[in-house]
Amino acid sequence: MLARQTLRFAARNARSFSSTAARPAAAEVKRLGVIGAGQMGLGIALVAAQKANIPVTLVDSSQAALDKGLAFAEKLLAKDVSKERITQEQADAARALLQPTTSIEKLNDVDFVVEAVPEIPELKFDIFAKLAQICPKHAILATNTSSISITRIAAATTGGNPNDTSNSSRVVSTHFMNPVPVQKGVEIISGLQTSQDTLDTAIEFCKRLGKIPSISADRPGFLANRILMPYINEAIICLETGVGDRDSIDAIMKNGTNVPMGPLQLADFIGLDTCLAIMKVLHSETGDSKYRPSVLLKNMVDAGWLGKKSGKGFYEYQ
């Protein structure tokens, strides 16, 4: 079974990187939906408005979250204007394309939707079950998950009939890197049910947003977090066991490997609760002890020291 899945992924991968003339053109995306007005969702929505010049329906169950997200978008646009990256007219045009709502039903006219809510499996399954009923039948249903199986998310759209792939075949992952307006990378992950047309459309749409796609198999952690999170976790273990202090750990990685920030600072930026959640997924789904979360990481999350977003992590923030 595993061999057949591997061959299937390899064949799809080969087709994905073949010449454009060798496959049908990807479907055009004229309207985007984004679920979640937090840092990731807002970033995806703003980039789509700026780079692709398309209207974005931004959905969040909380009006306060929508207000906060849009205020942040206006701050980012004002910063770009002040640095003369864009004109005020361009900023106003991008802001006008962001259409906030607390109703998921408003996604009934999108061509592509990206879910960017917290990494809670049941929450995502519930959202995708609804999207399968609300969105047009041609719409691509994408998730920004960093750790949850795309195959499992796609299965939530079948209504209990796994043989009906009319909805699950249009589920894919577009895992954007944080912060979305700055980072070029995006992981594209297919579930077993994902069709080639869905994959092609996701790749081309991400390129339209100015991103550089990388293709990953649907395995725990995918590519980015399978590599990144053990690196961060090991840095925390080095701090926990006294191999080095905070500043030395971050300094050696910045000055020795030319990364822009050290692993402990990066963990604060990502969110220690997010790091812990991903390590737990890697540990439970692989059964490999090398993915066991650091005791210090768990203790800091228990203390509510989540990093930059809470004001305190390995560093303190105003």
Classify the C-alpha dihedral 217-219-225-230 as positive or negative. negative
178 known ligand binder: yes
Active site residue: 115, 144, 149, 175, which one? 175
Is residue 233 annotated as part of the catalytic site, yes or no? Answer: no
Provide the angle, in degrees to the nearest 10, between the axes of the packed helices 39-47 and 63-82.
50
38 known ligand binder: yes
CB 33 within 8 A of CB 114: yes
41 known ligand binder: yes
What is the greatest pairwise CA distance in the chain?
Answer: 57
Q: What angle do CA 48, 64, 274 make, to 5 degrees?
A: 70
CB 165 within 8 A of CB 194: no
CB 170 within 8 A of CB 198: yes
Is residue 187 annotated as part of the catalytic site, yes or no? Answer: yes
37 known ligand binder: yes
Question: Which residues, in sequence order, are bridge partners of residue 32?
Answer: 56, 112
Active site residue: 149, 168, 225, 233, which one? 225
DSSP 86: S
Active site residue: 146, 167, 233, 294, which one? 146
146 known ligand binder: yes
Encoded tokens for 71: 């205020």
How many C-beta neighbours within 10 Å does residue 256 have? 8
309 known ligand binder: yes
Report the distance separating Cα 18 and Cα 13, nearest Å. Answer: 9
Active site residue: 169, 187, 216, 233, which one? 187
Is residue 225 annotated as part of the catalytic site, yes or no? Answer: yes
60 known ligand binder: yes
Residues in contact with 202: Cβ distance below 8 Å, sequence separation at least 6, in sequence order: 140, 142, 172, 174, 188, 213
CB 135 within 8 A of CB 108: yes
Residue ranges of the binding site for NAD(+):
36-41, 60, 119, 124, 146, 178, 309
Give catalytic residue positions. 146, 175, 187, 225
Task: Give binding residues as ranges.
Answer: 36-41, 60, 119, 124, 146, 178, 309
